[in-house]
Copies of this chain bind each other. A is one copy, B any other.
Amino acid sequence: MIPKVRPKSERKKVLELYLAKKHLKSTKQRDIIFDEFFNHPGQHITVEELYEKVKKQYPKIGYATIYRTLKLFKECGLAFERNFGDGKTRYEPVKFEGEHHDHMICVGCGRIIEFENQRIEYYSREVARLNGFEVLNHKLELYGYCGSCREKKKEGANNL
């Protein structure tokens, strides 16, 4: 079995190797962004959110640097770009094998709930097998209404 968790240092190493290979440079800004992005919570962070977090540590940071650095993380396979339909691109650390999770997205308030379900994973592989298909990765997103938005819908039903 593949190990469940890969330590921070491994991600850092991936980046360092990539920088070396492409003759890119290691900078203070990249370090801070790396740290904020990988070592602090906040899944599915937007560029703006990350910008604000980094700004606290490094006030003269510019938006462009955040954009460029996230693109860099994406290029070396460390970050994943997502878009849940609110006009903002979100990024999340790429999950290594065993860390996979799926998403429920509330179309009412935009809340994102993460989940993992072994049976869905199992049947996905099963369907694939029946089609001679070998699954490397999958993406599952459920769109609908979260609990509190369902309440709001009920309450407001008369007003429509």
Contacts and interface: CB of A to CB of B under 8 A. Distances in A.
Contact of A117 (B123, B142, B160): B123
Q: Top 10 closest A-B pairs, CB basis? A: A132-B147, A83-B83, A135-B144, A136-B144, A134-B145, A137-B143, A138-B142, A134-B144, A139-B141, A140-B140
A138 B80 CA distance: 20
Contacts of A147: 131-133
A104 B140 CA distance: 12
Given A120-B123, A134-B145, 7 more contacts: A117-B123, A117-B127, A127-B142, A128-B144, A132-B150, A134-B150, A138-B142
A104 B124 CA distance: 10
A14 interface: no
Contacts of A84: 83
What size tier do the contact residues of chain A reach? 35 or more
B123 A133 contact: no
A85 interface: yes
A63 interface: no
Interface string A57-86: 000000000000000000000001111110
A160 B75 CA distance: 13
A119 interface: yes
A82 B135 CA distance: 20
A145 B133 contact: yes
A154 to B, nearest CB: 11
